[in-house]
Homo-oligomer: A and B are copies of this chain.
Amino acid sequence: MAASDKDTPAPIVRFDTEPSRYRHWQLTTEGPLARLAMKVDDAAPFRPGYALKLNSYDLGVDIELADAVTRLRFEHPEVRCVVVTSAVPSCFCAGANIYMLGSSSHDFKVNFCKFTNETRLALEEAGDRSGQRYVAALNGVASGGGYELALACHAIYLQDDGSSAVSFPETPLLAVLPGTGGLTRLVDKRKVRRDLADVFSTLAEGVRGKRAKDWGLVDEVFPKSRFDDEVKKRALALAEALPGKEGPGVKLPPVAVERRDEGGKSSAEYRHVSVVVDRHKRVAELTLRGPSDEPAPSPAAFRERGVDNWAFALFRELDAALLDLRFNFPEVGLIVVRTVGDPERVRAHDRALLALAETDWLAREVVLHMARVLKRFELSARSIFATLEPGSCFAGSLFEVALLADRSYMLDAEGGPRIGLSPANFGPLRMANGLTRLETRFLATPARVAALAGETELLDAAGAAERGLVTFTPDDIDWEDDVRIAIEERASLSPDALTGMEANLRFAGPETMETKIFARLSAWQNWIFQRPNATGPRGALTMYGRPERPEFDWRRT
């Protein structure tokens, strides 16, 4: 119905891959260093219709990068510095492919940018939290999303050869923004002076050599003859300054899933996660199953279990399920989350995992992964309701899912559900705003968070309601109608208004670079992606590469 949306059919998006199947990246490791070299196969776009010239990227390229970033953390604990560079002469990366953007629907563009943003934040977080720093070795032109990828790195080295440059041509050439964190990282992370940032962001040809360093756009420039050596020297120095981790790594097998499609319902059955999409109601039922085993009794046993440790397995599946919903079920407006299992067992797993994470890098990586998946959930642009029913296990790390929901319904009845907190609720799984979900919930009454830390017993509906931990607690008589009506009502509202509303209500409190990227920058980019000046029939993004000039409505808004 949206007149401006392109009608190219969206292919099914799958996120599973592994290095031997990469088409666009070369991943090699050598002691504490890894090299991640971009060499985009221009004949292998994610969908037909455009060629990935000049190391430009699309979702397929970014799925491989996301995979590499995750695998480096889990499979290569010995790596402490990753050099991101290009294997294409004179060209680091030309950014997101313009013809792909120009021919994509609005919702695809927004979801593509969001995923790309999450990958760049994950790469940044690997440096900050996991002792695995990324540096960008720009051995050619880095424009648009290419320079944005570099901005997410800890350090940026630029080859000084008279042609290698960094640039943001989005505004002058395409009438859009460097919206994958670019503008925010420029002035907030690198703290480039705002007038210089203004000049840079309107200069299609970009900035080279010494000026790029003087303006703070890159950290060092080296002549071509010394470039590789100087980068390597610095990468090694960075690696040596970081603590080593005891290997070996844990191999990540594909996430197994069985899919069915019948009677208007599509289901995806993972080991610990089920998703059932009712396409007619536009509702997804998401069920998370608690652990059926005891936590690993020792660090060695934890290592042995690897990806089969309950939390690791469940959150990998949840991540896959969320990405599947985002890209392949855009019409789903509401996710209703349930859990099944023993709340005490969830808490036991949380406690064991967090205790282990104090000394064990693998356990720590599992916790960081859980935190990233929960953040991905909150950013999925879907309404989220949690329903707490008998037999559920909303405790500890799984109670975070109830806390991230827009609202929760807990049955108040004899033998009804009980919830519980664990150390997982008090620090390790922070939101993008830097606060825990309990701190965000109780911004007005921070003393409540401290009081809750002392709650060791499970709580029934009355206890949970009294402490402000759930939204509604209907009894047996009201439950079915209350929940059904709430779901139907929510699914009837405008998807856009809900996305905007939730983006404003979910992230109260402080702003961080991360929330700025997803709020300020992404919201403006989404606006611009809707504007005829960019995406209309005569807009700059649509007209790119054609001989005619774009036409603008000059009214400033």
A175 within 8 A of B: yes
- The answer to whether A495 and B194 have CB atoms under 8 Å apart is no
- The answer to whether B199 and A407 have CB atoms under 8 Å apart is yes
- The answer to whether B557 and A107 have CB atoms under 8 Å apart is yes
Give which listed residue, B197, B471, B497, contacts A505 with CB less than 8 A: B197
A551 within 8 A of B: yes
- The answer to whether B171 and A444 have CB atoms under 8 Å apart is no
**A557 CA / B557 CA spacing, docked (Å):** 22
Q: Which residues of B contact A177 (CB under 8 A)?
A: 497, 500-501, 504
- Would A191 and B527 be within 8 Å (CB), given that A497-B177, A501-B171 are in contact? no
- Would A175 and B497 be within 8 Å (CB), given that A194-B505, A381-B557, A557-B107 are in contact? yes
Interchain nearest-CB distance for A81 vs B (Å)? 24
A493 within 8 A of B: yes
- The answer to whether A504 and B198 have CB atoms under 8 Å apart is no
- Would A195 and B528 be within 8 Å (CB), given that A496-B533, A533-B495 are in contact? no
- The answer to whether B497 and A532 have CB atoms under 8 Å apart is no
- The answer to whether B534 and A175 have CB atoms under 8 Å apart is no
- The answer to whether A554 and B495 have CB atoms under 8 Å apart is yes
A119 within 8 A of B: no
The interface-forming segment of A41-49, A327-335, A349-357 is A327-335
Q: A500-519 interface mask toward B, CB cutoff 8 Å, 1 = contact, 0 = none?
A: 11111110111100001001
Q: Which residues of B contact A406 (CB under 8 A)?
A: 194-195, 198
- Would A493 and B171 be within 8 Å (CB), given that A441-B193, A508-B191 are in contact? yes
Q: Which residues of B contact A506 (CB under 8 A)?
A: 194
The interface-forming segment of A93-101, A180-188, A268-276, A314-322 is A180-188
A523 within 8 A of B: yes
- The answer to whether A493 and B202 have CB atoms under 8 Å apart is yes
Q: A519-557 interface mask toward B, CB cutoff 8 Å, 1 = contact, 0 = none?
A: 111011111101111101010100000000011111111
- Residue contacts A-B, CB under 8 angstroms, 15 given: A171-B493, A175-B497, A177-B501, A177-B504, A191-B444, A193-B441, A194-B441, A194-B506, A381-B557, A494-B550, A496-B527, A499-B524, A523-B526, A527-B527, A527-B530
In the complex, besides A188-B508, A195-B407, 7 extra interface pairs with C-beta distance below 8 angstroms are: A1-B551, A3-B536, A192-B444, A193-B444, A197-B505, A494-B550, A500-B528
A residues whose Cβ falls under 8 Å from a Cβ of B: 1-3, 5, 105-107, 110-111, 170-172, 174-177, 183-184, 186-188, 190-199, 201-202, 216, 282, 330-333, 381-382, 405-408, 440-444, 468, 471, 489-490, 493-506, 508-511, 516, 519-521, 523-528, 530-534, 536, 538, 540, 550-557
